[in-house]
Structures are given as structure tokens and as C-alpha cells.
A and B are shown apart, each in its own frame.
Chain A
Amino acid sequence: MCRVRVLVVEDERKLAQVIASALQAEHYDVVVAPTGEDGFFRASAETFDLVVLDLMLPGRGGLEILQTLRKGHVQTPVLIVTARDGIEDRVLGLDLGADDYLVKPFALPELLARIRALLRRGRPSDILRLKAADLEVDLVARRALRNGRALDLTAREFELLEYLLRHQGHVVSREMLAHDVWKEPRRATPIDNVIDVQMARLRKKVDVEGHDRLIHTVRGVGFVLREGEP
């Protein structure tokens, strides 16, 4: 199978390194461009499946690169990574042809999740059943079974379990949960406690005695649903 190629345009050396190694751990081919010029040159000359683009770059700014690429009909998906979080900045970036937008500081699990989502784009995703070990979830009937026995879940617990299953094997951060499951638009909202309590309850119902533990806490990062030990 052909490996996915990702171009990372980021001038901050440490951050570029962190992103690159996280992507390599997901078995992507990663090319790092440390300047805007280099990034633009590579993005227009080579073929990539995805570009991770910083906006504040020395030499050539990220938005300018994006604009020039799109004018030159380079349609590679672009994920903007920036410290600018004003609505105007987001709108401008997306209007100029970016496919997604992530504000620094971001959690790596979220970056990876968004990259997966962008790469998945255009493919059918009408999965009706999700499975992990002896846990089965029927999205149509909204039913969850552990080893054939039905679990009594609240609506929120079901959504949470579905989200964890969809990101099976990948860590999901509290930010992702707050944003995607609780639909909280802001980090400032005191929702982290709610997430922790909800997760503890879900875990009590899913990881019942006599079964392998599926939901794991990754300290300081978030949660992961995974078969076997973490």
C-alpha cells in the first residue's frame, strides 16, 4: 500500500520535529519545510496527500503560500496551524482554500484526528456498526453490547462511546471531547470535570468485571479505546 505523504511547513524547529515524529508514528511519510519559500517550492513541485501549514513564517507568509497554491490549481488538502484565533483569521484562511484550521497550542491527538478526517474526506463513511474486542455498537438501533449483553447507556454515554470507537486506537483529548461530543465552543468553559465524571461512569458500564479493559486514561493527554494493554 502506498504510504501517505505529508508536508509540514513550520519554522519553529522543535514544533516541526514533534509534529513530524507524531506523524511518522502513524506511518505517514513526512517532509518538513522550515521556511515559507521552501514550503511553497515543495508543495508546488512534489505531490503530497496533505499539507500542514503554519501561518506566521519567515519570508513568505502561510496565507500567501496558500493563495498562490490554490491559484496554481494545487488541490492538496491544507490544514492551517496558527496562533491567531480571531474569527476573521479563521474565515480568511478557510476562504483562501484551507480545508481545516487548528489553533496553537493544540493537542497532538487532535492534530492527528483532523489529519485523519481530511485524508478520509471523499470516502464513504456510512459505518453502521462499530466493534472492538467483544464490544459491539449498533449506530442505527443506538445499542451497545458487551459480550452479547446489552449495556444500559444514557444518550451522552452512547455518544461518548461512539466517539471513542470511531477513534479506536487513537488518543482523544478533553478538548476534542468538549468540542465534538459536548459541543462546547470554548476552552474556557468549566467542562473538564464533567468529561471526567462522564468518562468514569461510562467506563464502569463498559469495562465490567471479567472483561478486558477497553477504555484507558492517558495521563495529561486524554483517553483511548484500545484492545489489550495500552
Chain B
Amino acid sequence: MKWPWSAPSIRVRLTAWYAVVLTAMMIVYATATFVAVRHEFLEQLDDQLHDDFETAESLLTRTADGRIVWAGDRHQDPDSDEVRVYEVWSPAGEQIHRSGASVALPPVAVASTHASYRYETVAGNNERWRTLTAPITIGGHAVVLRVSRSEERLRNQLWEILVVLVFGSPLVVVLAGVGGYLLARRALLPIDHLASEAQRITAERLHERLTVPNQRDEIGRLTGVINDTFARLESSFDQLRRFTADASHELRTPLAVVRGIGEAAVTERRSPKEYEDAIGSMLEEVDRMTTLVETLLRLSHGDAGRIRVSREPLDLGQLARDVTSSLGILVEERNQKLMLDIADGVVVPVDRLVLREAVTNVLDNAIKYSPAGSTVAIRVGRIGDEALLAIADEGPGIPPEHRERIFHRFFRVDEARSRDGGGSGLGLAIAKWAVDIHGGAITVEQRPGGGSEFRILLPLTPAVATTHDQKTTQMRLGG
């Protein structure tokens, strides 16, 4: 069984926290209030006691026979007083006068009574009495006067306040909790709404978007972010769909060829030479397919982040020379020229093999699409704090609408020029991937005189950015 509070909603949690904080605040508030009120009450009592004392001091007189009596016409008979007691004690410790409420109070310790006023609380008749004791002189005789007041009324008042605080606070907390819950529910309602709306958008309905009620508030921003995510999801779904379609086409075609050749070969009796041709042709298709699968696996490993990149300082110019010397023979074969314009000491922290693959693919692409007798130019240099490797050709160029998609998998500008000489359609995708994982960028631009220029930009190592010894090497290969 699952307890309802084992995984409470934000609403409930919010309310619970609210209640806890409020309870703590109430406890502190009630305690402080009570302490302050009590202190105030006691102070008032002491003030009253002091007034009583002064009145008694001025009104008590000594008769000729030595008795202590109230002088003048007191507005009230002290004996009928319920809350006050007046006592006069002789220095010997005898009580020589007493008036006011009839209550048994402990005797005054006359010996320890000094010149100053002494306030204390004593017990009498199961009640607590506040007393003020001090020595005075009545008719020239030194005596000790004690005035007492019952604390009972004060205690009753304090008790009532306490009752109000103790029973009132929880009520406040409960009411505030209910209010908090309602507020939280109201505040979170748009999120509930958002969730149910987002749930509606499945893989098949990715083109739909959430409605944005108010763009400027928090919910509006959240909705915007979710919509952006949906947009990206949609585009990657589209890309995936296109990729799957292309991949199956690219893989099925050689399969169909192999099958066709095989079937054609066995349906009739043929010469060994014809069989040899058929088998050779099938093997060529198998080879094509193998390379394709290899490339696809490599890309998918790259996507899954399973290819480890070990960065080491690499001279980009050296890499360019290396790649051109390995592909140079193709340039010669097509009577093309290769121009190298290489700045020395452009060192980037990269994985040599991975970047070499990128440059090889781009250069191979340039050679393939350039007409015979044209020039392919390679430039290595610095732009700001980035290294540049540019490969320019004199081919037909790439229409602007294709410039972004040229790096997509299986994309070919000329659909008809698919397989023969067109390569797998993955070379530039691999190049982009290889440049991307190094934090660089690859772009393609139209050259003013026709043809296109592929530009690979890579972040430079900070250590080598200072020496600007731009010794430019010009080199011509082939021709």
C-alpha cells in the first residue's frame, strides 16, 4: 500500500512547509508576547505598591498611648480592603499595627531590613502576595512598614492571555494552512494545465506547440522553453526520419544489385569469364556496402560519445601537407593544380587521426567536384584566436539553400549524381562531426570567382598565440 504522503505533491509540500514555518513563528511570537506582558504587569503592580507605601507612610500616625492609627479621613476603610495589607513592625520584631485584608502573611524579618525598599513575593492563604518593605519613622519612632498586594488578579489576567495564545495560535496556523493550500493550488494550476497539454504532444504530433498565456511571467518562460525543446525534438526526429530513409536506400541499393547480378548469373549457363565478372561485380557492391556500414557505425559511435579524443598539439600546416601528399596523386591524375598557402606554427590541440579524417574528406570532396585542369587551394592561417584551414575549389559551387544541409548525412547537392563518383554522401558529415568535437566550426562559402571554399575554424592553443612569424610557404604540386 502506498501512503498518500510518501510522495506528496508540491502543493501539499508547500503547505506543510508553510505551516511548519508559521507554527515556529507563532511559538516565538506568543512566548515573547507573554513574557513582555507579564513583565509589564509586574512592574505596574510594583508601582501601585510604591504608591500605597507612600500613602501609608504619610497617613499612619502614632497616638499618645503608642498605637499606630490612620490619620485624617481616609476615603476608604483600610480594613474593608480585599487586596491590600498594611503592617507596621517594631525594631524588636513585634507587629504593632495591621490593617487591610485578613490574610496570614509570614512575619517581617526586621533585622535584615535595611534603609532601601525591598520588593518580594510571599505566600499567604494559598495566594501569592507582592510586598514592599522599608524602615520609616512614625512620630519620631523608627519602625518597619510593609505594604502587600495580592497578585491574584494579575495572575488571572495573565492566565487568560496565555489561554488565548495557546488555543488561538493553532487555529491561526490551521486557517493559514488552508489558505496557503488554496493559494498554492491556484499558483500551480497553470503547471497542471501545462503538463496535461504537453502530454498530448506525442512523437506523432510533434509539430504542435503549447499555448503561451503570458510571455513575460514565469509560466510563460517555462512554456517557451518547453516549446523550444519540442522544436528541437521535432527537427531531430525529422533528421532521424530522413536519415533512416536515406540509410535504407543506400544499403538496399547495393543489396539489390548483388541479388540481381547473382540471380542473372545462375539463371543461364555462362562462361567462366562471365561468372568471374558477375562475382567481381558483386564483390564491388559488398565492398561499397562494407565501407558504408563502417562509416555509419563510426558516426553512430561518435553520436553516442563512444569515440575517445586524445588531444595533442598538432601543426595544422603539417597536417595539410600530409593530407595533400596522400591525395596529391588524384590531383595529378585529373590535371588539377594544388596551391598551398601555409602559415608556419599554427598549432592546435586536436586528435590527429580524427582531424586528419576531416581534412581528407573535405579535400577529397574538393578534388572530386572540381573540373580537370582547375586549381584546388589550401590555406592555413590564423583569424583572431582561431586557426583556419580553408580548402577552395573551382567547382560548380554550392547553392545557398544547400549550404547548411551539405553537412547532413547522405545529403548530395546533385541527387542524380548519387553513387558513381559521388561517394557515400557521408564524407562531409564525418568532417563536421570531427570538427565539432574539437569545439571548432566548419562552413562553406561561395567564392567570388565561382567555386566554393570550405573553412575549418579551430580554437588555438593559448601558448602559441604570441609568435606571429607568418612565413608563408608557397608550394605547387602537379600541373
Minimal Cβ-Cβ distance residue in B for A85: B297
Q: With the chains together, A219 CA to B278 CA distance in Å?
A: 9
| Pair B357/A188 contact, Cβ less than 8 Å | yes
* 8 A Cβ contacts from B288-320 to A: 290-291, 294-295, 297-298, 306, 308
Closest B residue to A184 by CB, please name it. Answer: B326
Q: Do A188 and B329 form a contact, CB below 8 Å, given A220-B281, A220-B283?
A: no
Q: Could you tell me if A194 and B329 are in contact, using CB atoms closer than 8 angstroms?
A: yes
Complex interface bits, A211-222 against B, C-beta within 8 A gives 1, otherwise 0: 000000011110
Instruction: Indicate which residue in A185, A190, A221 contacts B353 across the interface (CB closer than 8 Å).
Output: A185
Contact A219 B298 (CB under 8 A): no
Residue A193 contacts which of B283, B306, B330 (CB distance < 8 angstroms)? B330
* Chain A count of residues within 8 A CB distance of the other chain: 23
| Interchain nearest-CB distance for B113 vs A (Å) | 98
With A219-B280, A219-B281, A220-B282 known to touch, is A186 a contact of B333 (CB < 8 Å)? Answer: no
**CB of A220, distance to nearest CB on chain B (Å):** 3
* Cβ-defined contact, A194 with B287, below 8 A: no
Residues from chain B with a CB closer than 8 A to the CB of A122 are none
Give bound CA distance, A117 to B360, whole Å.
Answer: 31
The smallest C-beta distance from B399 to any residue of chain A, in angstroms, reads 24
With an 8 A cutoff between CB atoms, is B341 at the interface? no
A68 within 8 A of B: no
A74 within 8 A of B: no
Q: Is B87 an interface residue (CB 8 A)?
A: no
B283 and A219 contacting across the interface, CB-CB below 8 Å = yes
Q: Are B291 and A188 in touch, CB under 8 angstroms?
A: yes
CA distance A131 to B361 in the complex (A): 38
Partner pick for A197 among B279, B290, B295, B330, CB 8 A cutoff:
B330
Q: Which residue of A lies closest to B363 (CB)?
A: A190
| A187-207 vs B, Cβ < 8 Å mask (1 yes, 0 no) | 111111110011001000000
Query: Once the chains bind, are B290 and A188 in contact (CB under 8 Å)?
Result: no
> Knowing A105-B290, A220-B282, A221-B283 touch, does A189 contact B357 (C-beta < 8 A)?
yes
In A69-113, the 8 Å CB interface with B consists of: 85-87, 105
Digit string of B426-443 for contact with A (CB within 8 Å is 1, else 0)?
110010000000000000
Given A220-B283, A221-B280, A221-B283, A187 and B327 contact (CB-CB distance below 8 Å) = no
Report which of B277, B291, B423 forms a contact with A187, defined as CB distance below 8 A. Answer: B291
Minimum C-beta distance from A112 to chain B (A): 16
Residue of B nearest to A191 (CB): B326
A182 at the interface (CB under 8 A from B): yes
Query: Given A193-B330, A194-B326, A194-B330, is A188 in contact with B298 using a C-beta cutoff of 8 Å?
Result: yes
Contacts of B276 in A (CB 8 A): 219
Contacts of A86 in B (CB 8 A): 306
Q: Which residues of A contact B298 (CB under 8 A)?
A: 186, 188
On whether the beta carbons of B430 and A219 are closer than 8 Å, the reply is: no
Q: Is B453 an interface residue (CB 8 A)?
A: no
Chain A residues within an 8 Å CB radius of B43: none
- Does any Cβ of A come within 8 Å of B250's Cβ? no
The CA-CA distance from A187 to B288 in the complex, in Å, is: 11
CA distance A185 to B330 in the complex (A): 20
Contact present for A218 and B357 (CB under 8 Å): no
Bound complex: CA A19 to CA B430 (Å): 34
Task: Let me know if B360 and A198 touch, CB within 8 A.
Answer: no
Inter-subunit contact B423/A220 (CB<8 Å)? no
In the assembled complex, the Cα of A191 lies from the Cα of B356 at a distance in Å of: 13
**Taking CB as reference atom, which chain A residue is nearest B279?**
A220
B120 in contact (CB, < 8 A)? no
| Least distance between B252 CB and chain A CB atoms (Å) | 17
A194 interface neighbour in B277, B327, B361, Cβ under 8 Å = B327
Contact residues, B321-356 vs A (CB, 8 A): 326-327, 329-330, 333, 353
Contact B295 A188 (CB under 8 A): yes
Tell which of A189, A201, A219 has the most Cβ of chain B within 10 Å. A189
Q: Is B394 an interface residue (CB 8 A)?
A: no
CA gap between A189 and B298 in the complex, in Å: 11
How far is A221 from B285 in the complex, measured between Cα atoms in Å?
Answer: 11
10 CB < 8 A contacts A-B: A186-B294, A187-B290, A188-B295, A189-B361, A193-B364, A197-B333, A219-B280, A220-B280, A220-B281, A221-B283
The 8 closest A-B pairs by CB, nearest first: A220-B283, A219-B280, A220-B280, A188-B295, A190-B364, A187-B294, A220-B284, A197-B333
* Apart from A190-B361, A197-B329, A220-B284, 20 more pairs, CB < 8 Å: A87-B308, A105-B286, A185-B353, A186-B298, A186-B357, A187-B294, A188-B291, A188-B298, A189-B360, A189-B361, A190-B360, A190-B364, A190-B423, A193-B364, A194-B330, A197-B330, A220-B280, A220-B282, A220-B286, A221-B283
